[in-house]
Structure 1
Amino acid sequence: MSWIFLLIAGFGEVAGVMGINKVNRKMNFLTFGWLFGGFTISFIFLALAMESIPMSTAYAIWTGIGTAGSTLIGMIVYGESRDWRRLLFISMVLSAAVGLKLTS
């Protein structure tokens, strides 16, 4: 169950980062709600996951999901660069997260 909590925390991180982008584009209660809601979910579920997953592993995977997810959302939704090198480095981040899962 802790790994599911960690995935939810990672997706909450992505939602929070999307909220930052939304606030930068248009400031209103809805965009601030998106930002705070995403990060609140993220931190709550990260704390739950860390009850049984080592802190170093949980934090590394959480930031990896946030980094890769935010980059992919930027490419798909916001038209950011889809250069092959960006995709290569995203795959490296994800493979490192999988490696941490396999060793913990």
Structure 2
Amino acid sequence: MEWFFLFIAGLFEAAWAIGLKYTEGFTRLYPSILTVVCMFLSFYFLSQSLKTLPIGTGYAIWTGIGIIGTTILGVLLFNEPMDFARAFCIILIFSGIIGLKIISP
């Protein structure tokens, strides 16, 4: 269950990172509320996963999922560039996540 919680935490991390763009510096009420809720849920699910997962593994995977999700959403929502070098680096992060999952107890 801890891996599921960690995955959900990572998704909420990507959501609040994207939400920050829509808050316009927390000057827009509804995007700000939604972003703060996503922050809370991200930290909540991360804390649940860390009851049994090692902190270094959990944190690395949480941020990795957030990085990958935020990058993909940035490309889709904000027309950010996705060239070969950027895609390759994202693949490296994904490979690290898979590696940590495989070697974790």
State the 1:21 CA deviation. Answer: 0.6
**8 Å contact kept, 2:23–2:31:** yes
The list of structure 1 runs, each at least 4 consecutive aligned residues, that deviate by more than 3 angstroms after superposition, is none
- Does the residue aligned with 2:79 lie in a helix, a strand or coil? coil
Instruction: Give the length in aligned residue pairs.
Output: 104
2:58 counterpart of 1:58: yes
Query: What's the counterpart of residue 11 of structure 1?
Result: 11
**8 Å contact kept, 1:5–1:48:** yes
Deviations 1:9-50 (A, max 9, x none): 000101100110101288322110121011111000000000
CA distance in 2, matches of 1:42, 1:100: 20
Query: What's the counterpart of residue 85 of structure 2?
Result: 85
TM-score (normalised: structure 2):
0.94
CA distance in 2, matches of 1:60, 1:19: 21
Query: What's the counterpart of residue 40 of structure 1?
Result: 40
Query: What's the counterpart of residue 72 of structure 1?
Result: 72
Query: Percent identity of the aligned residues?
Result: 35
CA distance in 1, matches of 2:51, 2:19: 27
| RMSD (CA atoms) | 1.3
